[in-house]
Amino acid sequence: MKEKYIYQISILVILFVILTLFITTVPEVFLQSRIYISYLSIIPFSMILALSLTPLIIAKEIDLSFPSIMAVSGYIFAQSYLSFDNTFIAFFLCLGFGFFAGLFNGLIVVKIGVPSIIATIGSQFLFRGLAMILSGGTALSIMEIKESFISDLFTGRWFGFFPAQSFWVILFAVLIWFILFKHKFGNSVLFIGDNKKAANMMGINTDKTRIILFIQMGIMSSFCAVLLTLEMANWWPTNGEGYLLLVFASIFIGGTSVFGGSGTIFGTFIGAIIIGIIESGIIAMGLDGFYTRFIYGVIILIAVCVHAKILNKGKV
């Protein structure tokens, strides 16, 4: 437990070191408020996904389909708004799809017994193909939605400058931390990740718990799709692409073990910030943007190796 808190503090130190490096190297960018307002607008999308996926990783499961769920959900939201001219109908139809997409993944993994990595690779292609079929590969523009109440509520600029999505991601982080570490459901997730057979013997309904985790991931993927569509006032068939690597890098650099059984919401939160600022910092320093993929890969490998080493020493 002590090592866990040391790791979290070290992640926070790494964030400040990276920020200090960028501020020192390109002060004309990182001493201006605009870059931080931009971060508050963009980082919440990957952060919501990373926070949602963390409990699944802790439970020793995985979901690779969330980018494709975002694509279909965003299409449903945009097309429903254009069809009904009602943001609330569009919102709930979108979340409804996320619920059933998560349930679909959960039933395949839990009831049929397909490993989650295989099942969600299949559903990733399935949902992405569905998005292309429904849209015909054509983007949707919903610029007028910027004037709606739901746009102001979720992606508006509160107090004239503060992106609303940052408030919602902080609220979600607190909520999921409470559920994971202060509620019996969270205890069930941790027990399942540590030893599923032992969790069954303790009377934990492991099947139900894992299905709920997949449903939660589906719903939050849809919610993230709503935020992204509202922010851009457009939907593209490529919605969700590019988030997979960012999300996993955020989770693993944050201190959640790839082997399951342990994880940290605070670490994922800080990890998402680190991953979110790296690309713009690298580009501002005058380096090629392609370096970011290399750095993300290095981060994931180092984080996984560190956790493997700690587990082998019996410290987690």
* Residues 102-154 pLDDT 10s: 999 999 999 999 999 999 999 999 999 999 999 999 999 999 999 899 999 99
Task: Output the six-digit token pair for 212.
Answer: 């709920």
Give Cα separations from 47 to 190, 214, 260, 272, 281 (angstroms).
21, 17, 20, 5, 18
Least confident of 236-250, 271-285, 301-315: 301-315
**What is the residue range of 60's domain?**
2-312
Record the pTM: 0.92
Residue pair 21/250 in contact (Cβ under 8 Å)? The answer is: no
3-state class (DSSP) for residue 259: coil
Give Cα separations from 39 to 24, 93, 235 (angstroms).
19, 29, 21
- Split at pLDDT 50, 70, 90, the class of 316 is very low
Residue pair 126/134 in contact (Cβ under 8 Å)? The answer is: no
For residue 315, the model assigns a pLDDT of 45
Burial of 72 (0-12, 13-18, 19+ CB in 10 A): buried
Into how many domains does the chain fold? 1
For residue 52, the model assigns a pLDDT of 97
- Give me the CATH number covering residue 77: 1.10.3470
The CA distance from 22 to 148, in Å, is: 37
Sole residue written with tokens 């679909």: 104
For residue 105, the model assigns a pLDDT of 97
Question: How are beta strands 140-141 and 157-158 bridged, if at all?
Answer: unpaired
pLDDT over 60 at 32, yes or no: yes
The CA distance from 297 to 152, in Å, is: 36
- Split at pLDDT 50, 70, 90, the class of 308 is low
Sole residue written with tokens 């993929």: 293
**Number of residues written out for the chain:** 316
- Average pLDDT on 29-38 reads 90
pLDDT digits (tens, 9 = 90+) for 166-188: 999 999 999 999 999 999 999 99
The CA distance from 171 to 194, in Å, is: 28
Query: Nearest-CA neighbor of 314 among 268, 266, 259?
Result: 259
- Split at pLDDT 50, 70, 90, the class of 273 is very high
